Structures are given as C-alpha cells and as structure tokens.
Structure 1
Amino acid sequence: MNRKMLMKLAMSGFVLGITATGCSGMGPLATASSNVGAKAEAAAKAADKARAALEKGKTGKAVGLAEAAVAGSPRDAGYRALLGQAYLNDGRFASAEAALGEAMELGAKDGNTVIALTLAHIARGNSADALALLKANSDVVPASDAGLALALAGDSESAIYVLTAAARAPDAGARTRQNLALALALSGRWAQARILASQDLSPAKVETRMTEWAKLAEAGDQQLRVASLIGTKAQTDAGMPVRLALANFADTQMAAAPADGTVLASADPASVDSYAPPPPVAIDAGGADAPIRTVELPMPQRVAGAAVPVTELPSPSATAPVIVADAAPYRHAPRVAGDSASVSQAAAAEAAVRLAPQAFDAKNPSGWAVQLGAYDSLGIAKEKWGVLKKRNGQLAAFPASSHSATVKGRTYYRLTVNGLKSRADASRLCGELKAQGQRCFIRQMGGESIQWAAKASPVRMASR
C-alpha cells in the first residue's frame, strides 16, 4: 500500500475537537502549600500553549507542552485528555490510548475524549474495546463520528444504521452523507456508496473519491486507516512516559503532614458509627456481688431518602444522666427525580439574564468571543452550531459566526459565540458551558473575515 497516497486522502473523516480546559481533581486542602499553587499555574500555562500548538498543527510541540501540564497537575482529567489528543494527532496511538484511558478514569467523559480514545483503540487493533466504549457513551458522541468509528471497528451494519438515521435528519450535512457513503464502501456496497457520494460531489470528484476509498478499503493496517482519516502519520510509539502514569499519583485531597507530627483532621465526613454511643457498661450498685444493670439501646432506624440518623438514647431509670448526642445527618437528602432538568433550565435562564448579549457587527468583528471548535468546512461549522444551540439553551441568546484559518496548508472554520461585552463575560459563559460538558476557550476578535454569521434568538421558557 502506498503510504503517501493513503495520506493524501481528502475525505469526510472525523471532527476532533481540542480539550479546552482542565478539571482538576485536587481538593481545597491541596492548596495549603504555595508550591502546589505555583505548579498548578505553570500547568495551566503549559496547557494553553499546547492547545495553541495543536491548533497550528505543531503536534510535536503540543505533546511536550501537554506532558508538562500533566506533570504539573497529574490528576487533572482535562490535561490528560489534552495530552491524549496531542498524542493522537501526532500519530502516537499507544501513548494516546494510555493517556485518554486515564483521562476517562479521572472523569473526562465528553464526546471529544470518547471518540479520540475509540480511534486509539481501533488503531491499536482493539476493536472490541472500541465498540464497547462507543456503546457505553453513545449519548455524547455525534452520530456522524460514531457511525464511521463503528465501520472502522468492523461493525458495518450498526455503522450504516446509525449514519442512515443521521443522514435523514433535516439538519444533516455533507460530512454525514459522505461518512455514510464511506461506511457503505467499506462494507462492499460500492454502487450505493457511489450514488450517495454524488449528492455532494461532481462526477469527476466522485470517481476520484471512489478510487481513494478503494485504496483505504484494501489497507490492512488499522493504524494507516485511522491516521489517514484524522490527517496524521502513524509513528513508532513505545508508549507514554512512565513518570506520567496515573498509577504514580495517589488519589489524595490532603496536604502533607506537618513536620512536628501534628495529625490533620480527615477531610471526609465522619461515618455514623463515629457518633454511635458506647456499648452498655456495668453500673456499680454497691459491691462486687451486686447485680449488673445494663441499658438496652435500640438500633438506628433508616428514614426513606435520608442518611441514618444518630441513635437517640432512651432515658434510663438510673439516677446517672445520659447525654444524648445531637448530630445532623452528614449527607444531603437525594434530589427528587426531575429536579435536574428544572435546575438546568433555571441555570440557563439565569445565565441569559446575567450575560446580556451585545450587538455584533460581522463586517467589522471586535471584542471578546468564545470559540467552540474548528472544523473542516463552513457547512460543518453551521451544522455544529445548530446542534450546540439545542444542547445548551443559553447559546441561542448570543450571535455566532465562523471564519476561516489556514494551518499548515489546511483550512479550518472556527465557530465562535459573539456579542460578549468583556473578557470577564466571555470567561463566565465559557465556564458555564464547561460545567455542562462543552469544550471551549475565549479569544479576542479583530480583523477576521467572517464567512457566516447567525443572529441571536431569544430564550423561551415553557409556560406553567
């Protein structure tokens, strides 16, 4: 198989976002040392530089910077996800598989991390792990990416089913249709693949596309297949550095013990057993031969939907007073089913009120914006905006735009949320989006040539 020919394949492929933030697993007590704060700040700076390097296509540089971020904050899920994506874009699939797996272990469950780990599994020949991962996280991976990944993992029927449903959606774009055509081609249904590909391509380009897909179908090396679809080269990879392995960093939220031997209190709430009264003891009633009288204590009673309360002691008949422990349950009562939706709606409404959208001039863009991603075509950026507006209610209250940026000869289309009054407003909106699982980062507009812009639409609350 001609590697250069395979690397030149310009097909639909995957949309891989860049992890835009960390989600540190360090607790509040970890800031007791000033050294910890300095390391965290250095890690954040390294992560920002790694994202910038990835966006410019400097994958080797991005790997080094992302490794520095992880070294500075080893239990940060976002930094490990960023490192895994840097490895993946650099063609280091063994390292990507390790880093992304540890990121998910720490709680990174967003669509970008899931699809990146899926591709790493496929490139490594672990198709069973890839299929299991897609099945367990089908709600966060876009259908166009999930369907093509299923096809690469060998489940052609599921791939065609998922992509057919996505292609029939009213807002389906060219990439979704081309991914379906590729899935049909990989399953041997070349006639159907040709018909579907012709919906978005000229006859001459259809022939070229069929030739490229035929070469891809003949390639037996899964690393080359995955590399061609994400636009990189597979490299010989010995794996992620051992010093960065998650197993080297224990899960602790405690500061280091003082040198004087002072014992720090536990950060975890004490168990109910810690508040339980002592066992019955003998009461001296006047001599060794006197009968022993004990007090029988009832067992704690569980209250539905709450923690086990501290045992209330009955008043014994003895003259000695009994002190009743007065302790509140250490856990909050569980949230009633349905509360999460109402809280999410209320948060979206509050965000819309707190962050008033400003006017945005697409002919003369300026001010601060929140970038949601960078995609292969303007159509994909528009399609992604429609999906994100439905997923995050507060986005609809702001105008959006897309402009092109060329990186290493390849053109990308950035999708940004505009109409933000200040850097603080942009940071606040990005923070709220991150809390809902959306990757983003802030940028300052100025001098861009806007190819597409969408007006803000009011946030509507359901009537009661």
Structure 2
Amino acid sequence: MKRKAFVKAAVASMLVGTTMVGCTGAAFRNAGHVGAIAPKQNPDRLTAQVEKALAERDGVRAVELAEAAVQAAPQDVRHRQLLGRAYVAAGRFNSAETALTDAMTLGNRDARTIITLALVEVALGKDRAARDLLTTHADIVPAADYGLAMAMAGDAPEGVRILSEVIHDPSATAQTRQNLAYAYALAGRWKDARMMAGFDLDPLAANERITLWAQNAAPGLSQQRVATLMGVAIDRADAGQPVALALAPAPVQMAQAAPVEQPVETASVETAPVETAAADPAPQSVVAEEAPAPAIQTFAAPARSAALRHAVAPARVQKAAFSPSGKGGSNWVVQLGAYDNAAIAKEKWYAMASRNSALANLPVVTSQITLNGATFSRLAVSGFDDRAEAAALCRAIQARRGKCFVRENAVDATPQRWALTTRARQYASR
C-alpha cells in the first residue's frame, strides 16, 4: 500500500452503526431467529437486498436474506462475510463469530472483517483471541483502527501508545482524538480522557461522554458495551448459526485452477468497545448529543502483489527469526519504545540488540514526541523495503514477548551510529 494512502486510512474514522452517546439499541429490530432456511434464490439479488436491510437497520430481515444467500452459494466468501454483518446487526454474536470465521477460512482478509470479528470475540469474552487476531493482521488493519481495537480487547496501554502517534498526523480528525480519549478511559486514565474529549466537545458534553463510559466500565459488561456502541439489542437466545449453513470442505477439483483473489468490499463495519478497569466516579446524568464518538473505520486496500500477500500471511506461519537486510529505503520504521531521554533510549537499544541480532544489524533512528507536556525520546529501527517487511519484523519481536509497532518515520528523526562493540555487549549483558 502506498504510504500516502495508508496515512489517510490510518487517521480517518467512520461511524458504523450509531454514535457512542445516546444510542439505545432500538434501531435494529430483533424479533427472533429465522426458523427455516428459505428455498434457494439468486444469490446476487439477495446480496443487494441484504445491504438494503442493513442500511434500514433491520437486523432480522438482513439475517433471513443473508442465510438464504449463503445457502444458495455456500462457498462464496462475500456471502459469508455479509452473513456475519447481518448477525451482528441482529445482536447474535455467537452466530456472527461462526460466519466471520468461515469468511476468513474461505480467504477473506478484509480489514473490516478482521476488526468486526475481533470485536465480536470481545463481546463473547474472548479478549485474548481478539488480540491475537489483531496482532496477526497488524499489517492489514489501519493504525487508528488497530489502536482502538487493541484497547477494547484489553490492551489499553498499547492502544493509547499507537493512537498517541496517529493523532499527531496533520490529517488526524476529531474522530481520531475521540478514539484516543476512549482508549484513555479503557486504560483507567480518566483525567487524560476528559482532556482529550474536551478538544472537540464543550465541557458539558465531554463530561457526559465520560460519564457514559464510566457507567459501562465495570468488569463483566463487555457484551453490553459492544451492543451499546453498535446500537443493537442483544439476542440472548442466539443458539448459533443454523447447522444447515455449516461450512463444508470445498469440492476437490480434478484440474488445478488459477487462484482468484477475493474482491475487497467497501461497505462499513460494525464496531464495539471492551472490558476496562474500574472508573473514577463520574456524574450520573447522560444527555444524548451528536459530537464525534469513538469508532473504527476500515477502507478498501489496493490489490497486493504475490510477494506482499506472502509477507502478510498469518503470524503462526511466519518465522520468528525473520531478519530484514536493513538496506531498504522506505519510510516505515519499527518503534521499540519511548523513554525519558536519549541516553536511556541508547541503553535500552544496547540491551535489546544484544539479545536480537536482527535489531543489531538495522539502522537506528531516534525522534522526540511531546505528550501532556512531557517530552520522550522514541527509539526505532529502519531499513525496510516496505511496511510489510517492517510488520514482519515486529511480529517476530512480539513472538519473543517483545513490544513494538509499525509507523512512518518522523520528519525530525535523527539517524544514530550505534554499534554493539565488545564493551557494549558486556554492558548490555549485565
């Protein structure tokens, strides 16, 4: 993906479903499950009808039509993904998990599908599975979406760190700042959340938003938080996707066919919040308003080459010992940490590089960032051919329990000529 295109995707946010403040869940009509699958119909016509039902916020009708589409074309990845969206609209999270997982099994790697499935996992109390899914596809999901989703999936500090980077891009929007405010709230940093929310809201509206977040912050309310953000009524009688729609193995072909890349869809995705730490006391009255609310947006990604598709394969098939050449000229870097000053950053680099030869062979860059009045020295490595190569290294670091994320290099970044001399190796090993 070209860098400019990614920046636009990374800092934009789109309201999917409803705003966080003032949604009641009544917008989707949820009258129960479809008892029987309808006779086979034209799947393309059904697809258009499903989209129409979703646009009209009729979750039950969308499910009925999407189930019929999947029955008519069970191996069509588009229909499986659409069925997952319909289940979410109807508040059927168990069914949605199955349908979206089936879509990914059939080859769907749309960022929207990944985020929706991750948030459904959160609603089902599977935070670890949600984080693993996001980490595996970190090179597909836009940074702003990834940051908020990780915060909602239980790693609020990581979400705050990534979103703190994203909001400094010149094209960052009010929605991106509200995403960061919500990530602060999920991390239990209520003062920071109030301050960030106040950048785009008047004091009363900001306080009302914080109050609503605090009311939904108690442990065990993850499903309610998801439903509230999506504006859906939870279907607690959801027994799962009908057995008749279970994904069967694709029929074996006698002749090998040329692979066909699934088209990337461009419609919006449904979003959800996640479990948080207990909140500080907040006012108890909530008034609905129309200001920007935390939400996740995904955009259609451009077609990728075979080499890039290989580079962004799931982490479980990547080699943990991945080592780039360090000679690439792209603007992508892997940030390893942010420290109080450059001396500490240098010390940390020696410690990390002494344990990881891949880091020791990469160019080091440092830059400064100011957050809440405090200045930090950011430590990163560069020399990658593209973002996919940087993301592959970051996955390898994370596989060894390290922390990192991929971003574009800062304009004021300073190249460093650090090297692991014998003395440095001895120092780092102490």
State the Cα RMSD in Å.
3.4
SS in 2 for 1:85: helix
Read off the aligned partner of 2:147 and give its amino acid letter: G
Paired with 1:176 and 1:80, the residues of 2 have a C-alpha distance of: 30
SS in 1 for 2:69: helix
Equivalent in the alignment of 2:60: 60
Change (3 A) 1:241 1:372: closer
Matches within 5 A, 1:195-344: 195-218=195-218, 220-236=220-236, 237-246=238-247, 249-252=248-251, 254=253, 266-268=254-256
Paired with 1:8 and 1:379, the residues of 2 have a C-alpha distance of: 7
Deviation of the 1:267 alpha carbon: 1.5
SS in 2 for 1:218: coil
Matches within 5 A, 1:23-422: 42-218=42-218, 220-236=220-236, 237-246=238-247, 249-252=248-251, 254=253, 266-268=254-256
Change (3 A) 1:184 1:123: same
Paired with 2:302 and 2:106, the residues of 1 have a C-alpha distance of: 24
Paired with 2:151 and 2:22, the residues of 1 have a C-alpha distance of: 15
Contact 1:173 1:379 survives alignment (8 Å): no
Which is further off, 190-199 or 215-224?
215-224
Residues 403-452 of structure 1, C-alpha deviations (whole Å, 9 max, x = no match): xxxxxxxxxxxxxxxxxxxxxxxxxxxxxxxxxxxxxxxxxxxxxxxxxx
Q: How does the TM-score come out when normalised to structure 2? A: 0.52
Read off the aligned partner of 1:155 and give its amino acid letter: D
Read off the aligned partner of 1:202 and give its amino acid letter: D
Structure 2: gaps (5+ residues): 1-17, 24-38, 260-264, 272-289, 305-430
Read off the aligned partner of 1:64 and give its amino acid letter: E
Deviation of the 1:375 alpha carbon: 10
Contact 1:219 1:225 survives alignment (8 Å): no
Identity %: 39
Matches within 5 A, 1:427-442: none
Contact 2:80 2:103 survives alignment (8 Å): yes
Read off the aligned partner of 1:245 and give its amino acid letter: A
Paired with 2:292 and 2:221, the residues of 1 have a C-alpha distance of: 31
Paired with 1:152 and 1:127, the residues of 2 have a C-alpha distance of: 8
Paired with 2:180 and 2:225, the residues of 1 have a C-alpha distance of: 16
Paired with 1:83 and 1:210, the residues of 2 have a C-alpha distance of: 34
Paired with 1:371 and 1:125, the residues of 2 have a C-alpha distance of: 28
Change (3 A) 1:379 1:121: closer
Contact 2:81 2:100 survives alignment (8 Å): yes
Residues 10-59 of structure 1, C-alpha deviations (whole Å, 9 max, x = no match): 189xxxxxxxxxxxxxxxxxxxxxxxxx96x7111111100110011111
Larger Rg: 1
Q: How many residue pairs end up in the alignment? A: 246
Residues 159-183 of structure 1, C-alpha deviations (whole Å, 9 max, x = no match): 1112111111111111111111011
Paired with 2:93 and 2:52, the residues of 1 have a C-alpha distance of: 21
Contact 2:19 2:229 survives alignment (8 Å): no
Contact 1:92 1:235 survives alignment (8 Å): yes
Change (3 A) 1:157 1:120: same
Structure 1: gaps (5+ residues): 1-6, 13-37, 255-265, 270-330, 333-369, 394-464
Change (3 A) 1:75 1:134: same
Paired with 2:188 and 2:98, the residues of 1 have a C-alpha distance of: 33
Paired with 1:92 and 1:205, the residues of 2 have a C-alpha distance of: 32
Contact 1:46 1:68 survives alignment (8 Å): yes
Change (3 A) 1:156 1:378: closer
Contact 2:53 2:62 survives alignment (8 Å): yes
Paired with 1:167 and 1:85, the residues of 2 have a C-alpha distance of: 29
Deviation of the 1:146 alpha carbon: 2.0
Paired with 1:77 and 1:212, the residues of 2 have a C-alpha distance of: 37
Change (3 A) 1:200 1:111: same
Paired with 2:195 and 2:268, the residues of 1 have a C-alpha distance of: 31
Matches within 5 A, 1:9-24: 9-10=20-21
Greater length-normalized contact order (CA 8 Å, ≥ 6 residues apart): 2
Equivalent in the alignment of 2:14: none
Equivalent in the alignment of 2:378: none
Equivalent in the alignment of 1:304: none
